[in-house]
Structure 1
Amino acid sequence: MPLPTVILPGYLESAIAYRQLEESLKQLGFPTVTVPLRRRDWISTLGGRPVTPILGKLDRTVKQILLECNAAQINLIGHSAGGWISRIYLGEKPYLARSELKSSLWKAHPLVATLITLGTPHISQERWTRSTLDFVNNNYPGAFYKNVRYVCVAGKTIFGARRRGSWLAYSSYQLTCGTGNTWGDGITPIATAHLEGAENLVIEGVRHSPRSPGIWYGSPEPLKAWVRYLI
């Protein structure tokens, strides 16, 4: 039987947006659950504040599905910021972000067989997220845990440029990697969506968010490119 799968939503996103992806994975035989986040659950993380509340909900979801499925491991899918938050969850270093009173620790890498990140900005120049991302990349660079299979999926859809229709992409790419004139999914540039040592994929034509017009990473056709990495 395939391992159960947990989906961690992207920044400021709720579990509802991932319902189609969850159902698609269930139809393929993967017991799947999305961390039950609401948009308001992210409010406490705004302005660079710690993502500990999200990690707590992730941990409770993982423990619950492991118990329900009588399994020892899961597959973990992190969309956007959910990807680098998942890397904190795997780790063995106390996570103490700005304004936190005490550090938190999960050491969850033995529980995760495969981590798939979808459109995740693994680096950023943006000052609100940089402190936490620096924590991640300084402590867990690249595909850090050898017992975990890392699969990083990027989209090649919009080339950032200072013209109508490409301004948002240009600004987002520049804020993320320092260069606006590059390819990405409209929000995350390819250059930041991959990790050294991971199995890095590029899918053409996918947009960043499940709420984006057209297709995104979890739509039926793009799903075929990365679902084969689930165990």
Structure 2
Amino acid sequence: MLPTVILPGYLESADVYLPLQQALTALGTPTTTVPLRKRDWLPTLGGRSMIPILRQLDRTVSAALVDNQAAQINLIGHSAGGWISRIYLGDIPYTIHGDVTEAEQLWNAKAKVANLITLGTPHISGERWTKKNLDFVNDNYPGAKHPEVRYVCVAGKSIYGEKKLGQWLAYSSYQQTCGEGNTWGDGITAIKAAHLTGAINIEIEGVKHSPRTPGIWYGSPAVLPQWTGYLS
């Protein structure tokens, strides 16, 4: 199997993905997580550039290719890691924040990626602090843009958003991402925001958004068989 790289979700560190990394490696795909720490996300706060994350992603992918003598990888993006991965695949220079030159080439990596698997990724959002970045992604790379890459978008169906105790967070988060609070999702990302046109779109019952949340999440052992078959 191809090597796999995991890109953590927003404000997450690599250590929380260690069980998933180990589980995937045991399945036969040597897996590495981009070695992010929570403080590595600080320069991106407030809708700023994702270049600091793309630099670490690119270094990790390059190392995985060399270490495994491979031509391609599987790329797994959890939460925001999914849409950041879409920037990485694309060939249009991500210079909208003025903090990188075209020469650095922290994008146009689609030839290196066989499969992009997104887990609970909000591919659309009305949040003002993500608008500039997500507008760049969706204006330039709508849906499963690159036919040479297989896109697999996994959504969880565990919490229905309502204005009542225990469901307020889900309601508010769904409303901010897809414009509708009364809908199903994983507690943070609504199903309709987690899927892309043209992708293989999967919906899994009972799955919650974060590896830190009690219960099962996308990387739980019982859930893995429902999406790991798409790793080459």
Return the alpha-carbon distance in structure 2 between the equivalents of residues 143 and 101 of structure 1: 26
Aligned to 2:216: 215
SS at 1:128 equivalent: coil
Contact 1:25 1:32 in 2 (8 A): yes
Structure 1 residues 91-100 or 127-136, which shifts more? 91-100
After superposition, give the CA deviation of every residue in 1:73-119 in whole Å (9 maximum; x if it has no partner). Answer: 00000000000000000010010233536455321000000000000
Q: How many residues align?
A: 230
Aligned to 1:122: 123
Return the alpha-carbon distance in structure 2 between the equivalents of residues 20 and 130 of structure 1: 32
Tell me, yes or no, if structure 1 residue 142 matches structure 2 residue 143: yes
Q: For 1:1-231, what aligned pairs fall within 5 Å after superposition? A: 2-98=1-97, 100=99, 102-103=101-102, 105=105, 106-231=107-232
Contact 1:49 1:97 in 2 (8 A): no
When the two chains are superposed, the root-mean-square deviation of aligned CA atoms in Å is: 0.9
Return the alpha-carbon distance in structure 1 between the equivalents of residues 95 and 11 of structure 2: 21
Return the alpha-carbon distance in structure 1 between the equivalents of residues 98 and 5 of structure 2: 29
Return the alpha-carbon distance in structure 2 between the equivalents of residues 24 and 197 of structure 1: 28
Amino acid in the other structure paired with 1:80: S
After superposition, give the CA deviation of every residue in 1:50-70 in whole Å (9 maximum; x if it has no partner). Answer: 000000000000000100000
Aligned-residue sequence identity (percent) comes to 66
Could you state the TM-score of these two structures normalised by the residue count of structure 2? 0.97
Alpha-carbon distance change, 101 to 75 in structure 1, aligned in 2, over 3 angstroms: closer
Contact 1:48 1:98 in 2 (8 A): no
Return the alpha-carbon distance in structure 2 between the equivalents of residues 60 and 158 of structure 1: 36
Structure 1 residues 209-218 or 94-103, which shifts more? 94-103
Return the alpha-carbon distance in structure 1 between the equivalents of residues 101 and 130 of structure 2: 19
Gapped regions of structure 1 (runs ≥ 5): none
Gapped regions of structure 2 (runs ≥ 5): none
Return the alpha-carbon distance in structure 1 between the equivalents of residues 5 and 93 of structure 2: 23
Return the alpha-carbon distance in structure 2 between the equivalents of residues 111 and 127 of structure 1: 32
Return the alpha-carbon distance in structure 2 between the equivalents of residues 32 and 97 of structure 1: 31
Contact 2:51 2:100 in 1 (8 A): no
Contact 2:8 2:81 in 1 (8 A): yes
Return the alpha-carbon distance in structure 2 between the equivalents of residues 162 and 99 of structure 1: 40
Could you state the TM-score of these two structures normalised by the residue count of structure 1? 0.98
Return the alpha-carbon distance in structure 2 between the equivalents of residues 48 and 99 of structure 1: 14
